[in-house]
Structures are given as structure tokens and as C-alpha cells.
């Protein structure tokens, strides 16, 4: 599913934390300047209409001796950007928001003098091509200072005056991390400013709100798209708690795959975020995916994936570090980031992902971003699943019903209505001979007695599709041709589950080259057979349990070579 053509595009960067490195600290501290110089070069090559910096331009705090020297260094660097650049203040630029849980001084007028002398007003707005862009100062909120009162009046008047235009809002602090009613923590806005701003966003139909500060990607929806951006310099190490394996270098601070910025395409009917990972690089030859590919709007991924892991899991971060007294609840949105950057829009998820109102709401929110969900359930369907699918449309586009072979006939006799097209898949054992604990599902496109049994039982009249499987090592193109021939003979549609390479039950399959080849093989087959949906059966590493194997992303949710290969193939000329 391709997006409408872009009317214009802009870039958003955050948390550059530029400094003069004088030794000490983290080893990566010395890379901040060159990492951000590389970002400037990439932005110039991509040619957005303008750039917005979400604050924490420099690292030394306003009370530290090296603050203004770092500001001058940053100003010299950003003079190299060849399009208009707009800055707003972060806590490292003007001081922290009022917060009794941290010992650093809050905002003060002296810090604003330095900021405004180098970067201009701390809050401002401008128009571009019929859209209104509003940059606000969030460290000042809840301070009670006259500067805050002036900004509040200005924001209310500015948004009211922008009636009839599409509005985009930008800040350093995000209003919330996961839920608009969450308790205050180091990373969100406290009340009453939070509700005041969100109410304004709702009243004036703000389209999207971009923020920084957390140095990690987050996406929320509350009548507006809320994005938190990655940093161009380093990752907040406290958020490495989200990963299921030990953190990357520097306790997760130098997790380079999580560094980057956004290109945002504004279209006639919405906007599309294009994540650009920079990997902490300083030269383009080290990028596994060219920035031009990440930012381009002329490609999409032909295949879908199965999300076997919990892709909307929430983790409670330890009460430590910057939040020593608060259990901050954070959802891991890095699987979503990987889907967005690879333009994978078709995903398979188990029925459990729609059985609670919270999870249905999340799934529906992501449907607004263009994701299309196939829900799979096992055994005879019940009214609860039908109702949940009903409430999840139009995000859910297909219902895959997986049935034991000896239960096909009784299930068919009790099959009720469906809000979406249904696909039938039989359960089959993995391997041959003896008793098998492990199973897979789908008809064998080469020859399958289960297929004729299902047709004889009347399944073709009750289902819109049959699900075919391609076992590891079996050629995808040949299987697709056979599946199409089989389905046409029956008079039914087809979809395909493409099993990824794996070893034995006790082995670890970590041949990334073979996995990448399988992903490309599947993509090529789908391009030749666009009418048959194809899903790679796996997305994230399966690193514990049985049949352990690499996926397209690792357990830190960082791309593996197979995801890079999938992206580069999807953009390659054909």
C-alpha cells in the first residue's frame, strides 16, 4: 500500500547534546560533534523544506562553565544546514522543568538570554504550504514565571488564529510516555500544564505532536499522533530495560542502531514519518541502508511478517537514576519503528492481541498508520473473537482460522458470520515419523490430502482463502505457482506462510546470510504474484525455547542483516 505523493517534507532532529570533549565520561562523548556533523550532511543531501530541532542542542547545562562554548560550537555546526532551521529549548539549553526529584536548577532567565541570542525566540510559529507549525517551550511550564504566562497566552491565541489550517506541534518534553493520565516522571509534563496542552490539541485538531528528551522512539495516539524521537547522539541507558537481552555498549547508551532522525512527508490527506537511522556513523559508507532509501517515498515492502513476540509489551523501568522514586511504565515501540522503516504493512498476530480493549485500541491506532492485521485463532471460533474482530476493523483485514485436521468437518458445520474475509489453515506436525510435539500450519502446495478433505467438507464455500505454507528450504517461487494453481482449481483465494530457515530443536540457526536470502526470495516471489499475500513467519530473534533462530530484528529490536537486505531489495530498481 503506497502513500499519497508528498506535498512537501521536513526533517526533525532531537537531542544532539553537542559538547567539547575534554576526556572522562563515556567513550562515546567524544563522538557527539562528528555524529551530528554527519546528520547535517545527510539532511543537506535529502533536501527537506526546513528542519526543526527539538532541543537539548548542547550537553553542558546552563549552570556549567562550558555551556555557552558548546552553544557556539553547535551554532557553527548548524550553520552548515542549507535550509531554514528552527530550534526550541530543551532542559540542557535553558534548565530543567520544575521537578523536586532532581537536584539540577530549574529554568531561569539567564539561560534564556544565551538561548535566544544564538537561536532566536524560545517559542514561535510559522506557516508552510497551508500548514501551521508551532514550536513551544516546555521546560518553562508549571514554573509560575511571567515567561510561562506570556507563552500560555500566546499559544492559545496562535492556535485559535490558525483555524482551518493543518497544525503540527513541537516540544522538547513529551506530554506523556504511555498514557495521558500517568503519574509525573522525569520524562513527561506535569499537571496542570499537561492537560491544558492536550485539551488545546484536541480543541484545535492538531495533527501531530513531535517531542524529544527521551532519546528513544515512542508513538502514542490520543486524537493526535504523538511521536517521541530518537537522539542523534546517544541513547538514554535507562531505557535499555526494554530489551530482553543485555544492553549494548556503555550500558545501552551507545546502542548506535537506535540513533537517527525523522523525515516527515506531508501529503494531501495526512503525514508519513520516515525514520532515518544513522548508526552513530560519521561517513556514509558505513550505513547499511542508504539515507536516500530510508527517506524515499517510492517503495514499499512486498511481504508481511508474523509478530510472534509481544509487540506492544509494557515494561516498568527500575526506580533508579533519573526517576529514583517513580515506577515509569514504558511500552517498547521499537518493533513498530522497524516495521515503519522497512515499510512492512501486513502483519499476522494471534487473537490474544485483540481480546482486551487496550490492545484493540492500540491495534486500531496502528491501523491509522497503515498497518493491516491478519488475526489468527485456533480451534472453533466463538462469539468473543467475532466481536473483537468486529471492533478492530478496518485495521483487521483477514481472519485466519487454524484447525486440527480431524476437527475440520465439525468446525465448518458451526461456522458463523465473519466481519472480515476468513482463511483456513490446518495444523500439521513439524518433521515426520513418531510423535511430534511441535506443529506448524497451512496446506502443502505440492500435494495435500488435507486439501481435498477440506474441499469435500465444503470449506471452499465458507472461507475466502486457504493458507498454504512453504517449509524451510522449499523454493518460494515454485510454491507460490503451485498454490495459485491449486486455489484457482478450487475457486478460492490463497495466502502463504513462508517459514524461515531453522536448525534442529536444540540448535541455534544464526546464518544471517541465509535468512536474508530467504527474505529476498519471498519478496521477489510476491512481486511476481501480487495477488497472493505472503508472510515471513517470524520477525524478531527467537533466542530461547525451541528451534532458536535469528530473525529480521534482534532482541534489542535492532535490525539484523535480513531487514537491511529486505529494505535495500524493496527499493532496488527492477
Please report the domains of the chain, with CATH numbers, ordered by start residue: 6-298 (3.60.21.10), 334-571 (3.20.20.80)
On whether the CB atoms of residues 167 and 144 are closer than 8 A, the answer is: no
Q: How far apart are CA 450 and CA 13, in angstroms?
A: 54
DSSP sequence for 213-277? SSSS-EEEESSSEEEEPPPSS---GGGGGGSSS---TGGGTT-GGG-EEEEEEEETTEEEEEEEE
The pLDDT value recorded for residue 114 is 96
Does residue 123 carry a pLDDT above 90? yes
Where b means 16+ CB within 10 Å and e means fewer, 354-388 reads bbeeebbebbbbbbebbbbbbbbbeeebeeebbeb
Instruction: State the pLDDT at residue 1.
Output: 46
Averaged over 30-58, what is the pLDDT? 98
In 340-478, where do the E strands start and end? 346-350, 372-378, 396-403, 422-429, 439-441, 465-470
Alpha-carbon dihedral sign for residues 282, 284, 287, 291: positive
Give dist(CA 38, CA 362) in Å, integer.
35
Going by pLDDT thresholds of 50, 70 and 90, the confidence category of residue 458 is confident
Q: Above 80 in pLDDT, residue 4?
A: no
Contact (Cβ atoms closer than 8 angstroms) between residue 530 and residue 521 = no
Q: What percent of the chain has pLDDT over 90?
A: 83
Q: Mean of the per-residue pLDDT values for the chain?
A: 94
Range 74-99 average pLDDT: 98
Distance of CA 106 to the CA centre of its chain: 32
Classified as helix, coil or strand, 452 is helix
Say yes or no to pLDDT of 173 above 80. yes
How are the residues of the chain apportioned to helix, strand and coil, as percentages rounded to the nearest 5? 35, 20, 45
What's the mean pLDDT in 10-37? Answer: 93
List of long-range contacts for 24-27, beta carbons under 8 Å, 24+ apart: 26/234, 26/250, 26/253, 26/254, 27/249, 27/250, 27/254
What integer pLDDT is reported at residue 574 of this predicted model?
Answer: 64
456 or 72: which leads in pLDDT: 72
Least confident of 24-33, 77-86, 219-228: 24-33
Task: Give the residue-averaged pLDDT of 205-228.
Answer: 98
Amino acid at each position: 500500500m503506497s502513500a499519497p505523493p508528498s506535498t512537501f517534507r521536513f526533517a526533525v532532529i532531537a537531542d544532539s547534546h553537542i559538547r567539547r570533549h575534554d576526556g572522562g565520561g563515556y567513550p562515546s562523548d567524544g563522538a557527539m560533534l562528528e555524529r551530528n556533523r554527519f546528520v547535517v550532511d545527510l539532511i543537506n543531501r535529502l533536501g527537506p523544506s526546513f528542519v526543526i530541532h527539538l532541543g537539548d542542542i548542547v550537553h553542558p547545562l546552563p549552570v556549567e562553565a562550558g555551556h555557552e562554548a558548546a552553544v557556539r560550537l553547535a551554532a557553527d555546526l548548524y550553520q552548515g544546514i542549507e535550509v531554514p532551521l528552527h530550534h526550541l529549548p530543551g532542559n540542557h539549553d535553558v534548565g530543567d522543568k520544575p521537578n523536586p526529584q532532581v537536584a539540577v536548577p530549574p529554568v531561569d532567565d539567564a539561560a534564556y538570554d544565551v538561548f535566544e541570542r544564538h537561536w532566536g525566540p524560545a517559542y514561535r510559529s510559522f506557516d508552510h504550504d497551508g500548514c501551521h507549525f508551532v514550536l513551544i517551550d516546555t521546560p518553562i511550564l508549571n514554573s509560575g514565571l511571567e515567561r510561562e504566562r506570556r507563552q500560555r497566552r500566546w499559544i492559545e491565541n496562535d492556535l485559535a488564529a490558525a483555524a482551518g489550517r493543518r497544525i503540527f506541534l513541537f516540544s522538547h518534553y513529551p506530554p506523556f510516555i504511555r498514557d495521558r493520565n500517568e503519574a509525573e516522571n522525569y520524562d513527561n509534563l506535569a499537571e496542570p500544564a499537561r492537560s491544558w496542552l492536550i485539551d488545546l490539541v484536541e480543541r484545535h485538531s492538531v495533527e501531530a505532536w513531535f517531542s524529544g528528551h527521551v532519546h528513544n522512539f515512542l508513538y502514542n495516539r490520543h486524537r493526535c499522533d504523538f511521536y517521541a524521537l530518537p537522539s542523534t547522539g546517544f541513547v538514554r541507558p535507562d531505557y535499555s530495560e526494554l530489551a530482553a537481552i543485555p544492553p549494548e555498549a556503555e550500558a545501552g547508551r551507545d546502542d548506535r542502531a537506535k540513533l537517527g532522525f525523522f523525515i516527515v512527508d506531508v501529503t494531501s490527506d495526512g503525514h508519513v514519518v520516515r525514520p532515518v537511522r544513522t548508526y552513530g556513523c560519521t561517513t556514509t559508507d558505513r550505513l547499511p541502508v542508504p539515507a536516500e532509501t530510508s527517506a524515499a517515498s517510492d517503495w514499499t515492502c512486498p511481504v508481511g511478517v508474523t509478530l510472534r513476540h509481544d509487540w506492544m509489551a509494557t515494561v516498568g523501568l527500575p526506580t533508579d537514576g533519573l526517576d529514583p522514586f517513580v515506577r515509569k511504565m514504558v511500552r517498547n515501540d521499537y518493533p513498530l519503528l522497524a516495521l515503519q522503516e522497512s515499510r512492512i504493512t501486513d502483519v499476522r498476530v494471534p487473537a490474544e492481541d485483540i481480546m482486551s480493549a487496550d490492545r484493540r485500541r492500540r491495534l486500531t491506532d496502528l491501523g491509522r498508520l497503515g498497518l493491516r492485521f491478519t488475526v489468527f485463532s485456533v480451534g472453533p471460533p466463538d462469539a468473543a473473537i467475532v466481536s473483537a474482530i468486529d471492533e478492530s476493523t478496518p485495521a483487521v483485514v483477514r481472519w485466519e482460522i487454524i484447525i486440527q485436521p480431524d476437527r475440520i468437518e465439525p468446525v465448518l458445520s458451526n461456522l458463523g458470520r465473519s466481519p472480515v474475509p476468513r482463511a483456513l489453515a490446518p495444523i500439521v506436525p513439524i518433521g515426520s515419523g513418531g510423535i511430534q510435539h511441535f506443529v506448524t500450519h497451512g496446506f502443502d502446495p505440492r500435494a495435500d490430502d488435507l486439501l481435498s478433505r477440506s474441499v469435500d467438507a465444503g470449506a471452499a464455500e465458507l472461507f475466502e482463502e486457504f493458507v498454504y505454507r512453504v517449509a524451510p528450504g522449499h523454493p518460494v517461487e515454485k510454491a507460490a505457482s503451485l498454490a495459485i494453481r491449486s486455489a484457482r482449481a478450487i475457486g478460492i483465494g490463497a495466502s502463504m506462510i513462508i517459514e524461515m530457515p531453522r536448525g534442529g530443536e536444540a540448535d541455534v540457526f544464526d546464518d544471517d546470510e541465509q535468512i536474508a536470502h530467504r527474505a529476498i526470495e519471498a519478496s521477489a516471489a510476491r512481486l511476481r504474484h501480487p495477488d497472493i499475500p505472503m508472510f515471513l513467519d517470524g520477525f524478531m530473534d527467537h533466542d530461547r525455547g525451541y528451534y532458536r533462530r535469528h530473525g529480521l530484528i534482534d532482541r534489542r529490536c535492532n535490525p539484523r542483516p535480513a531487514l537491511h537486505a529486505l529494505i535495500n531489495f524493496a527499493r532496488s530498481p527492477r
